[in-house]
A and B are shown apart, each in its own frame.
Chain A
Amino acid sequence: MAETHSLQDLRQAAVASKVFVQRDYTSGTICKFQTKFPAELESRIDKQQFEETIQTLNNLYADAEKLGGRSYLEGCLACLTAYTIFLCMETHYEKVLKKIAKYIQEQNEKIYAPLGLLLTDPIERGLRVVEITIFEDRSIGSR
């Protein structure tokens, strides 16, 4: 993917720290992240907002892993075509992952970047953690 580095990117704030929101395994191995508000974000973001983001992610993952008619049909079709269907068709999970990536991008642009935070798609970490990068706030008169 071509990466364009604009002059703006060069002025990207320095990374102060990273917070890792771990998986919530209380309901088993389904993909679910803890909605507990990390302490480091205390002063950076609304608790409500954070929880909402995580909850939406959890819902999306739950939808991806849902055992429904759709996934069953997908499985049958794949079986019948000796799995060659995977070469042309995108699985349900992948579709949801794309949706999640888009959602995270949107959240970053609208909410997190202005607050000096950045969410990383958990798929890059093997769906183990949601990495939130906290940027250094060098502005003196931050509101």
Chain B
Amino acid sequence: MPSGSMSGGLSGPTSPPHPTVPSRPLRPSRYVPVSAATAFLVGATSLFFCFTCPWLSEQFSVAVPIYNGIMFLFVLANFCMATFMDPGIFPRAEEDEDKEDDFRAPLYKTVEIRGIQVRMKWCSTCRFYRPPRCSHCSVCDNCVEDFDHHCPWVNNCIGRRNYRYFFLFLLSLTAHIMGVFGFGLLYILYHTQQLDRVHSAVTMAVMCVSGLFFIPVVGLTGFHVVLVARGRTTNEQVTGKFRGGVNPFTNGCLRNVSHVLCSSQAPRYLGRKRKAQTVSVQPPFLRPQLTEAQLAAKVLDNGIQGDLHRSKSSLMESQSADAEPPPPPPPKPELRYPGLSRGPAGHSEESSLLNKAPPTPTMFKYRPTYSGPGKNHTALTHAYANQMSRRDSLKESSSSLLQSSQQPGYRSEPSLDGHEGGGVERSGPERTGGGPGGPPGSGITGYSLGGRSYPSFSDPTVLAGGASRSSSVRSSHNAPPSEATTSTSYKSLANQTPPPAPRNGSLSYDSLLTPSESPDFELAVPEMSPGRPRTPVVGYSSPYLSAQIAQQREAELHQPCAYSTALLASPQHAGYLRGSTSSPPAPPERERERLLHDSQPPHHHHHHHHHHHHHRPPRFSRPPLLSDSGPSQPSYPYRTRSTDTPLPPTTHPPRSPHPPPLGKSLSYSSAAAAEMQYRLVRKASASVGGGGIQAPKDEIQMKSYSRTNGQPKPSSTPSSPSNPVSVSTRPGQAYSSAGSSQSPTHKPGGGVKKVTGVGGTTYEISV
């Protein structure tokens, strides 16, 4: 059987019809396994039919060769389908779809699937955010839907479209091998006296071959039977995505099996005939006529279905009015579409992702990092839009941190901290041009744990790309030749297995969060500012937050009252501070609970209160997670929240303090920051029911952005203008201080604390 024709056929993406898939150079080595497999399969079976079957059919019945013939036919059919069928290759995205520049877009986008946060990675080759379960095969150089693995024996990816055939191939091959071996054995047993005959020798050879292949094939079959029953792909199993976690893609054993075997054949995406557009679109165009009632209804709409941006923009405007002058509008993405005018509506639209689905790509341009529904993104987004250029890695880190921070039940993975710390530090200098701080996410040092989990840091490609961080983040990922299937990205991801047990039931798919962070988070709160309002919202770290926190820290350390006084002096904050001070635990708790998808509020309360009492003193002496004012601050030993407290996080793992790590760091932040966040959260929660959880992410993202470039702060930073400390008012200064504060936090501190995660994993947290 000509292996070339078999493997060079439709198995690869080089099929001519679709122009968007580039052809790959011919690599003969790819065809060796498939050729060998074909040769063994066909050769051994043919020999069996020629030498063993005749006697068997005479001796026993003609059903023997018929059965074997049918089985062999079945094996061949499935083998050919698995080999030649398009596994579900996504066509490359067209240029229009990726409106934003590479380096502006976040590397990851989070979506929530059945309550579980799943991260979608940007594929730089295919130029879209990979749908869940999609992966880019480096061998085939394509993104494949429901990617299982790349099988060398069929020289094809196994994906959504051909997984069924691959599975049936394994099953039928197992049966076939057993049949051939069994009947061969039967023959031999009846011909023990005539073993010197050719037939016997051939039969024995066939038995050897089939016996040899039986073990691995049965192993693989059993493995896939388990996968099908559990509703996982090989990729997910091997990278440990759901280890100790919940698989959002499973529908139960029976439905999983029926989905694999009984679902309708999925359509091909490549090679489809493009329908010619027969509809002509010419002006003049009609315009929808909105009645006043409709407009009013839109404004009052609670925003689930998308009119949120209206309320959002109004909120944002009022917010801006309170805080500082609104940041300059982000650069319009008019480069391609000059006719489009995006106003605040456009921005607010981005943040108004209530339904937790990724926003339309048009929004990404303004969104520093995508972290799912981000209600209060708009104001922040504005500020950040101007600071796109090198923040991406920061963005991603911060966004992932945000995401992770918002996911309770995730444990930090200290083992990656060093890695990440290095990465962070690496990125820091580039980002702030001198500020050693790591990515803003890292600013959220405690939260940087999340960073460890996201590939942007742990991924070797990212680390390698750290140097080129000024270039697009996305493009930096182009460096590694392969993604997805190969072990590189997955290994890094594999290190970041999700936390062992869902604390509150919602586990981040990508294990960005670390559970240990949560306990620290709570602990940090009381110590940070016993008399100050705690930052209600975890994600709302603004760019100034770190600076503020740093300032606050300093103030606290040196003049406990000065800073707060200064903050209180600011008219904007006064009310908030007072208000928030009155019940510090309450708002944060409430916000956190709201933010968390399926948190267990009672636990949080217990946590917070409990921790407040215990950890107050040590907390205070610790440097803030988010960044310190710079040189005056001692090196910050902990990179994760967990390191902050003397209490081992292990005591807390089972109960995940749901507030994201960000929230913890926020507790350190100045009152102004807290107030701002509170306000943002309030608005966010008011306007969007569950949107609060996204806000913190945005905050953090903003922070990272602001950190990286001295752009005007987001309007949501209330304390910036009034803050007597120059941190907030001088972006560059703030950023540099924030940046500088970042680095110390990342450097490994004096000690390394070992924390045992829920699943028994031990994490080393540098203290």
Give the B-binding residues of A (Cβ under 8 A).
Answer: 1-3, 6, 8-9, 11-29, 34-40, 42-47, 49, 51, 64-67, 70-72, 74-75, 78-79, 82-83, 86, 91-94, 97, 101, 105, 108-109, 113-118, 121, 123-129, 131, 133-139, 141-143
- Knowing A93-B265, A126-B91, A128-B90, the reply to whether A113 touches B360 (Cβ < 8 A) is no
A21 vs B309: C-alpha distance when bound (angstroms): 16
- Which residues in window 286-305 of B have CB below 8 A to A? 286-289, 298, 305
Are A8 and B282 in contact, with the CB atoms below 8 A?
yes
- CB neighbours of A108 from chain B (8 A): 279
A132 vs B632: C-alpha distance when bound (angstroms): 54
Interface size on B, residues (CB 8 A): 83
- CB neighbours of B298 from chain A (8 A): 47
- CB neighbours of B283 from chain A (8 A): 13, 116, 135-139, 142
A1 vs B276: C-alpha distance when bound (angstroms): 7
**Is B618 part of the contact surface with A, judged by Cβ < 8 Å?**
no
Are A125 and B272 in contact, with the CB atoms below 8 A?
no
**Is B73 part of the contact surface with A, judged by Cβ < 8 Å?**
yes
Nearest neighbor of B276 in chain A, beta-carbon distance? A3
Give B137 Cβ to nearest chain A Cβ, in Å. Answer: 15
Number of interchain pairs (Cβ within 8 Å)? 235
- Which residues in window 255-301 of B have CB below 8 A to A? 255, 258-259, 261-267, 269, 272-289, 298
- CB neighbours of B277 from chain A (8 A): 118
**Is B17 part of the contact surface with A, judged by Cβ < 8 Å?**
no
Are B276 and A75 in contact, with the CB atoms below 8 A?
no
A88 vs B689: C-alpha distance when bound (angstroms): 51
- For the complex with contacts A18-B96, A18-B97, A91-B265, 14 further pairs of A-B residues with Cβ separation under 8 Å are A25-B112, A28-B114, A29-B146, A36-B354, A44-B285, A67-B262, A113-B281, A121-B275, A124-B274, A125-B91, A128-B131, A137-B283, A143-B287, A143-B289
A-binding segment of B181-189, B222-230, B342-350, B736-744: B342-350
> A15's contact among B74, B164, B249, B337, by CB below 8 Å, is which?
B337
What are 14 A-B interface contacts by the 8 Å CB criterion?
A13-B282, A13-B285, A19-B360, A21-B360, A24-B355, A26-B111, A26-B113, A26-B357, A40-B342, A92-B264, A114-B286, A136-B339, A138-B283, A142-B285
- CB neighbours of A65 from chain B (8 A): 263-264
Closest 7 CB pairs of A and B: A116-B285, A139-B284, A39-B349, A16-B339, A17-B337, A37-B306, A17-B340
Nearest neighbor of B250 in chain A, beta-carbon distance? A28
- CB neighbours of B272 from chain A (8 A): 123-124
**Is B764 part of the contact surface with A, judged by Cβ < 8 Å?**
no
Give B160 Cβ to nearest chain A Cβ, in Å. Answer: 9
> A43's contact among B131, B251, B276, B287, by CB below 8 Å, is which?
B287
Per-position 1/0 for B571-586, Cβ under 8 A of A:
0000000000000000
**Interface-centre pick from B76, B93, B111, B284 (highest chain A CB count, 10 A):** B284
**Is B132 part of the contact surface with A, judged by Cβ < 8 Å?**
yes
Nearest neighbor of A108 in chain B, beta-carbon distance? B279
A46 vs B94: C-alpha distance when bound (angstroms): 27
Nearest neighbor of B78 in chain A, beta-carbon distance? A83
**Is B106 part of the contact surface with A, judged by Cβ < 8 Å?**
no
- CB neighbours of A44 from chain B (8 A): 285, 287-288
Are B309 and A39 in contact, with the CB atoms below 8 A?
yes
Are A125 and B97 in contact, with the CB atoms below 8 A?
yes
A9 vs B280: C-alpha distance when bound (angstroms): 6
A97 vs B267: C-alpha distance when bound (angstroms): 9
Are A126 and B264 in contact, with the CB atoms below 8 A?
no
- CB neighbours of B345 from chain A (8 A): 39, 42
**Is B353 part of the contact surface with A, judged by Cβ < 8 Å?**
yes
Are A82 and B269 in contact, with the CB atoms below 8 A?
no
**Is B107 part of the contact surface with A, judged by Cβ < 8 Å?**
no
- CB neighbours of B65 from chain A (8 A): none
Give A128 Cβ to nearest chain B Cβ, in Å. Answer: 6
Are B339 and A14 in contact, with the CB atoms below 8 A?
yes
- CB neighbours of B355 from chain A (8 A): 24, 26, 34, 36
- CB neighbours of B255 from chain A (8 A): 67
